[in-house]
């Protein structure tokens, strides 16, 4: 599967120019705060609209300014894991996981089966009736990932998924994330400040500074942050 991003978006500080192509496997996008990392993901997901360009998924236009195509987020088949997880506070873990499936208008029996599968897979079955305020940081992340994967996306976008966790928990969940991405076998993009995290999780790496994206050819082997 191929995801092609060739877009321009005028921001207050600079113009974002994202021009790259990714295939199956995880691609890392590193850069300092305010460099355009999250905006790039939001444009791909359809949350933000580029000023010009195109985004293609296996040749299908998700966005094309010339052809006036701009599919809404729910029609792009893209899973987005926000930095703060964006769980619905008034919904239980179980309800959070199933909310995306209801939007797909799946039969009730099929929704229940899929939710049970995700609760089991991400080891949160015992948390099913809890609310986000009752969860630890790691439990919130597992719930958010379960919700994302339940939707069966064609592309996964991960925005600083481990940044809010302490170092010990980050190490544990990094391993789980690595396994999830390996099983996914479709395009995914991981945004992070942590070069070591990206090195462990991603097969290909890019850097972004003031909206300019380029391959990170001389990738560091020591732990650090950009």
The domain ranges of the chain are: 1-77+155-226, 89-152
CB 21 within 8 A of CB 4: yes
State the pTM of this model: 0.87
In the chain, DSSP assigns E strands to: 3-10, 15-22, 25-30, 52-57, 60-64, 69-70, 78-81, 155-159, 187-192, 204-209, 212-215
With CA atoms as reference, report the closest residue to 225 among 31, 37, 84. Answer: 31
pLDDT value at residue 217: 63
pLDDT value at residue 164: 65
To the question of domain 1-77+155-226 being in CATH 3.40.50.300, the answer is yes
- The two structure tokens encoding residue 214: 């380029």
- The two structure tokens encoding residue 1: 């599967």
Sign of the alpha-carbon dihedral angle for 76, 117, 112, 160: negative
CB 213 within 8 A of CB 181: no
- The two structure tokens encoding residue 191: 């945004």
**Residue 49 in this model has a pLDDT that exceeds 90:** yes
70-122 pLDDT tens trace:
999 989 999 999 888 889 999 999 999 998 787 677 788 999 999 999 999 99
How open is the CA angle 54-15-148, to the nearest 5 degrees?
55
**Residue 127 in this model has a pLDDT that exceeds 60:** yes
Dihedrals φ, ψ of 175, to 5°? -65, -40
pLDDT value at residue 106: 79
197-217 pLDDT tens trace:
888 899 899 999 888 998 876
Q: Band of the pLDDT at 159, cuts 50, 70, 90?
A: very high
With CA atoms as reference, report the closest residue to 30 among 42, 45, 40. Answer: 40
* Cα 43 to Cα 45: distance, rounded to the nearest angstrom: 5
């Amino acid at each position: 599967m191929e995801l092609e991003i060739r877009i321009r978006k005028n921001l207050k500080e600079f113009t974002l120019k994202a021009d790259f192509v990714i295939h199956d496997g995880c691609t890392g996008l590193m850069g300092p705060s305010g460099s355009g990392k999250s905006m790039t993901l939001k444009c791909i997901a359809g949350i933000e609209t580029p000023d010009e360009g195109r985004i293609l998924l296996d040749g299908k236009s998700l966005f094309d300014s010339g052809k006036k195509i701009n599919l809404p987020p729910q029609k792009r088949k893209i899973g987005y894991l926000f930095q703060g997880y964006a769980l619905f506070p008034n919904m239980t873990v179980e309800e959070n996981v199933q909310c995306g499936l209801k939007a797909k208008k799946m039969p009730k029996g099929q929704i229940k089966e899929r939710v049970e599968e995700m609760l089991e897979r991400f080891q949160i079955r015992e948390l099913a009736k809890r609310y986000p305020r009752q969860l630890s940081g790691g439990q919130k992340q597992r719930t958010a990932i379960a919700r994302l994967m339940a939707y069966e996306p064609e592309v996964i976008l991960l925005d600083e998924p481990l940044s809010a966790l302490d170092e010990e928990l980050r190490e544990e969940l990094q391993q789980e994330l690595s396994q999830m991405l390996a099983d996914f076998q479709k395009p995914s993009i991981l945004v992070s400040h942590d070069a070591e995290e990206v090195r462990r999780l991603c097969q290909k790496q890019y850097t972004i500074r003031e909206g300019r994206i380029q391959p990170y050819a001389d990738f560091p082997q020591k732990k650090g942050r950009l």
